[in-house]
Amino acid sequence: GAGVSQSPSNKVTEKGKDVELRCDPISGHTALYWYRQSLGQGLEFLIYFQGNSAPDKSGLPSDRFSAERTGGSVSTLTIQRTQQEDSAVYLCASSLLGHDQETQYFGPGTRLLVL
Partner 1 sequence: AQKITQTQPGMFVQEKEAVTLDCTYDTSDQSYGLFWYKQPSSGEMIFLIYQGSYDEQNATEGRYSLNFQKARKSANLVISASQLGDSAMYFCAMREPYTGGFKTIFGAGTRLFVKA
Residues that bind partner 1 (CB under 8 A): 31, 33, 35, 41-45, 48, 50, 53, 55-56, 58-59, 89, 91, 93, 98-101, 103-106, 108-109, 111
Cα 4 from Cα 66, distance rounded (Å)? 20
**Shortest reach from residue 76's CB to partner 1, in Å:** 19
Residue 58 is classified by DSSP as T
**Which CB atom, from 39 or from 63, has the smaller least distance to partner 1?**
39
Closer of 84 and 103 to partner 1 (Cβ):
103
What would the DSSP string read from start to end of 3-44? --EEE-SEEEE-TT--EEEEEEPPTT--EEEEEEE-TT--EE
